[in-house]
Amino acid sequence: MTSFNPRMTVLAAACACVSTVASAQDATLSNPAISAVLDGYYQSAERPMAEREEGFGLGHTELALSANIDDLFYGKLTAVLETHGSETEVGLEEAFIQTLSMPAGFSVRAGRFLSDVGYLNNQHVHTDAFADRPAVYRAFLGSHYFDDGARLDYVAPTDLYWTMGVEAFKGESMRAEDEHGEREFDNIGVYTAYTKLGGDIGISSSWQLGLSYLRNENGRLTAHEAHDEDVVIEDSHDHSHSAMYTGENTYMADFVYKWAPKGNYKYQHLTLSGEYFQVSDFAPLAAHELADAHSVEHLPDDQTGWYVSSVYQFNPNWSAGLRYGRVDTQELHDDHFHEQSLKETEVSLAWHHSHFSTVRLQYTHQNGTNFDGIEDDNLITLQYVMTLGAHSAHQF
């Protein structure tokens, strides 16, 4: 596991991280890089749309295998284990190949992988500074959106780091609910486009801005889903990775700023980040016709969500984080929508013996308004994250 050093240019660091091949240069088919991440926790209560349950549990525990296939390709396989009650779920989060030597700054990835939209989504959840992803991620991306598909990336030959890309995915986990199994879904349901721009401010600071767009051909509700939320899964406590709230168009903006005195990231650093999501065109097409006939009160506003986060590592072994986020969604009832919102304030304190071991204590206050029946609550989470073996470089 490696960390970002602000002495490097953002271009060099981001290219190394985004390609995920930086840590595998010495790994070959006969000597692959093998790693495991152990994630265990205790949580005092459940939180909406989250994968962790009340009590003791196994979180996002993963086993990864990666290697350069030859001088042209890199491959990675990541399996994930999680416990839900008495059951253990085994899933395949990544299984992709990526080109290594395409000309003119282009690269291609194909298989199953994390989408590069937004800031957090292309990062594994065990790298987060908090026990769970923000509510906006859990609502609109199923915590972290990975899928079967293909990606084309381009890194521009500019002084500032500037990358852009497009993706096409199967999109099964982003489909709106089809309660009666009558709907025909597009086989390629999700298309994305994104761009990210970043640079250095002296030797102590770096920044990055991003814009993303996700087109979901299967994201609009159908009219027969009365009395059901615009969800992909039937139960808000079902621990699948499907998006809870969907729409045809999702717009995202993100920023991150990192500071370390004189570029010494190891001993002290600060990370400020935030993202904003807007989801539109989720109401059934029939609702527009009814609205024209004055049969419904009004068409719903867009669904939105955002968060801001600050994490400060004040010495090599301790870091503290503060995050606030909100998500506002719409629930379909017959011929009208109900507004609902969820606000979360989170404080974390983490002890890091090294890059390979973290023990985290987190306090969460959640405030829900008509949100899946969630009442105001206070949660305590105690988590450990331990890494075994070589591991890919973390994102910027």
Which is it for the CA torsion 386, 363, 279, 14, positive or negative?
negative
C-alpha 115/C-alpha 151 separation (Å) is 9
What is the CA angle 2-8-9, rounded to 5?
Answer: 125
pLDDT attached to residue 277: 98
Instruction: With beta carbons less than 8 A apart as the criterion, state whether 378 and 363 touch.
Output: yes
Q: What single DSSP character describes residue 20?
A: S
C-alpha 81/C-alpha 91 separation (Å) is 6
C-alpha 84/C-alpha 74 separation (Å) is 33
Contacts of residue 394, Cβ cutoff 8 Å, sequence gap at least 6? 1, 2, 3, 4, 17, 123, 127
Give the three-class secondary structure for 222.
Answer: coil
Count of residues making up the chain: 396
C-alpha 301/C-alpha 81 separation (Å) is 38
Give the three-class secondary structure for 158.
Answer: coil
pLDDT attached to residue 233: 37
Those residues of the chain that have pLDDT short of 50 are: 1-25, 225-239, 290, 292-296
Instruction: With beta carbons less than 8 A apart as the criterion, state whether 59 and 239 touch.
Output: no
Contacts of residue 156, Cβ cutoff 8 Å, sequence gap at least 6? 105, 162, 163, 164
Paired with 74 in beta bridges are 68, 98
H or E element: which one contains 285? helix 285-292
Instruction: With beta carbons less than 8 A apart as the criterion, state whether 21 and 63 touch.
Output: no
pLDDT attached to residue 232: 40
What is the CA angle 313-125-150, rounded to 5?
Answer: 130
pLDDT attached to residue 225: 44
Strand runs labelled E in 217-356: 249-259, 269-280, 303-315, 318-333, 336-354
Phi-psi category of residue 30: left, alpha or beta, with phi > 0 → left and psi -120 to 50 → alpha: alpha
Give the tens place of pLDDT for each residue, 191-232. Answer: 999 999 999 999 999 999 999 999 999 998 876 544 344 444
CA 33 to chain CA centroid, Å, is 24
Q: What is the signed CA dihedral for 22, 100, 195, 114, rounded to 10 degrees?
A: -70
pLDDT attached to residue 385: 96
251 residue type, one letter: Y
pLDDT attached to residue 330: 86
CB neighbours (10 Å) of residue 103? 5
pLDDT attached to residue 179: 65
Paired with 315 in beta bridges are 318
Instruction: With beta carbons less than 8 A apart as the criterion, state whether 216 and 171 touch.
Output: yes
Contacts of residue 299, Cβ cutoff 8 Å, sequence gap at least 6? 283, 287, 288, 291
